[in-house]
Chain A
Amino acid sequence: MSARAAPDRQDPMRIQVSRTGGFAGIARRHEVDTGGRADAAEWQALAEEALRSARDTPPTGVPDGFRYAITVGDRTVYCADPDLTGAQRTLISRVLKEGA
């Protein structure tokens, strides 16, 4: 990720991703706190893109498909496989991989 951040005009942001459902029915939950991260601006841009045109209620989804809840700050949106936008897919995989 880019190191070009502007921490002075960025509020630290918590990005949470919860994944439920799936064939195994095993839930995963991770979050990234952008505070103090050099790539905070990039995370913020990705999160905003992921939230754009996202639903405020969970979609029904498809049998065995993963369901996701993405929380950025105080807003939570929902999406489900396989109907994710590119930004949602990228954000989900990064948070689930990098998040604590």
Chain B
Amino acid sequence: MAAAEPIIKMAKIEKSFPGVKALQQVDFELAAGEIHGLMGENGAGKSTLIKVLTGVYKADSGQIFLDGRPIRIKSPEHAQKIGISTVYQEVNLCPNLSVAENIFIGREPIKNGRIDWKKIKNEAETVLDKFDLKIDVDRKLSFYSVAVQQMVAIARALIISAKVIILDEPTASLDTDETNKLFEVMRQLKSEGIAIIYITHFLNNVYEITDRITILRNGELIDTCLTESLPRIELISKMIGKDLEQIKEMENYSKNIGENNKVLLKAEGLASKGNIEAFDLELKEGEVLGLAGLLGAGRTEMVELLFGLNKADQGRIIIDGKEVKLNSPKDAVDYKIALCPENRKEAGLIGNLSVRENIILALQVTRGWFRKLSQARQLEIAQKYIDLINIKTPDTEQLVKNLSGGNQQKVVLARWLAINPDLLILDEPTKGIDIGTKADIQKLVLELASGEGMSVVFISSEIEEVTRISQRVVVLCDRAKIAELTGSEINQKEIMYRIAGGEA
């Protein structure tokens, strides 16, 4: 593989941010026609390495070679010009422009001195067709879900005739089908001699698609290996720097909750036209309820009703035996319900505020702004959650936008944990989170449930994760609840079977 001259070579790259050494003496090589996985925990420096390579950040020292010649990449624009096309970790597109335009902007076809809108539309449809994505490309990007936006970002990267394509966690919000489509396209590009850097936290994906893997830990290069000669266990231990005892230990976690635990929340015939069909739901104290289903199956719509983000047009909600109306999130929070949403950019995570301020935000709101938490108390709370879920930050005052993607996700989680809810709804809480921390979060959820009697609704696209922590699983399909599984029914096969539309 590494026989020929690499397309890209990065040598002894150093990059520091105030208080953080994000990259230390990192070497990296990328050969033509290979898919190269970049692995590491949250905050290991993966995105930073990509940003140095594509001119978003300037390295403190070190050199980059393109086709053997040293090159100084000045800006993302420059990177594109020399054939490096990137999908950054957060979807970075313009929400106000149409899907088609987002794919083509910057290299619009020009005819007779004007942008050829017709051609843009047609070609956009053709590219998205590769992913079986049949959407109205004239609609604004903001109209579509994160998953669709992600595909659009990928499509944009692919239509540039690039030599190198970089995908920073492109599959975080994609479902299995969409991921497979992406892999098909990646394989085809690879056969055309294009080199691809692929960052992900999904081990299965890495083993399925990559030829080589480079592992970073705490900003240092740990190793670069051929994928086929790197056992999973070894990869994981290289990434987290310790063995897997911790993860294994969790498997034995007791999932028994008392049959006669009190019912906390009950939904009867709840429905919202066009969003979710009528469903019943019962949640006991100290129970973890998993919601499984494909993207678009109605999982998010279901919990939005429970959190007052959307109004039900029929049915009722009963909390602690009393019927309640949840007309807004504020109502829900008053009943000690918290929802940690899927998309952290939309989740109200405020990049320009510090980690501390973001964590205490929801708590402060529930107290009202006139009863301000004291500085000392704020610090205490922030520190508690930083330790509890292992948020990687130099201190409580770091701005959230400077955290790595996964760590931002943890801050959202911390914010909602801080209000100490009775019912915690987690919508894809482990998206973009490395396996070590993922295990930590799963463990934490179980502890909160069995230890403190908190009820948890857990949405995840990873079925394995759902089966691991739920006492009960509700399966959704086409915006309707189609099954409720308990006990031994909770296994991957059964859930997949139900999702695929099978009857019991």
Do these two chains really belong together in a complex? no
